[in-house]
Structure 1
């Protein structure tokens, strides 16, 4: 995007999960002074309907073109916030999240240290957000085949499991024989001979060979 970044920062208290260790108000004021930041807000539960509406309203009110949400792990609510900014007319990939719960409030017992780290993470998230570009999703046909590199015990087991799931599997081994180091091992921890384990896997592969 060639237009100047206009970043909105939204900081979640996560109830007491974040706010008990991070001085959210201080962090929000700090974020307002960062380059390209137009507005910064905090709310008790940013992932809630009210929190999402706040984000959407601010996008429209301030013509924001980038959004930073400082909250819990992206694995929890990144789809939630992507959907929220998309419904406000913004490309859903113009979102950056800062994990200030797992990486700050849950990782530090000292409030000052947790707060400072939250500031650092948000500063980095804002800098990254300014460089984000809108993306478009593309669908294309895939071929259900898998290449497994390495014919040791792990590689053979992976190949067998994938074949059982219906994938066409290509098992590649640089050595002339399968088994790797296990084939040369006398006894394994399971009280089985390495050669027996390898031969059993080779037989299973042979049964699935096309």
Structure 2
């Protein structure tokens, strides 16, 4: 499932984030790439332990906490600490690759299974040329270039790339979700069901028998597919 989540960050948060990113100590993005990805990766990245990264991580995670749509779609068990990258100039692209199935946390405290990949955009589309996130699935290629503050979710197993940036800079955060429901197909069904349930509740109320029955079905499916 590929999903556009709007307004993860507020305009004020974006302003603060852009100020931090403008002074950030950018380094070679290949430092966090796997063997296969490193051959295709040509961008810049913030060091994971620097102050700028820590400030921005807190901001992104707070933004996620405000979005019911994100939780309904991803059903997160664990969120890897957000990372931050920049494309532009000589370091301007990332060729076709698949994310590693497991992300080992920098501090050695554990690992995250990368069921869902996420990108939050910090630059508006008119600030740079190129830089589209291209995600491949059975229906073909999907071109993603979203407004600043918006986020895209897509399956972690997808082949994807970032097209070369030919003007300006593409700024973004990226991270992964270990979902309580491993299967992308099952997550999609649950998300569709939850979306329709929210619509029914707004029109018919929580106490309507049909709403109660469908809510029970949703939670029983969730209970059947959950992994802890």
**TM-score bracket relative to the smaller structure:** under 0.3
Higher-strand-fraction structure: 2
Scaled by the length of structure 1, what TM-score is found? 0.24
Higher normalized contact order (CA 8 Å, seq sep 6+, divided by chain length): 2
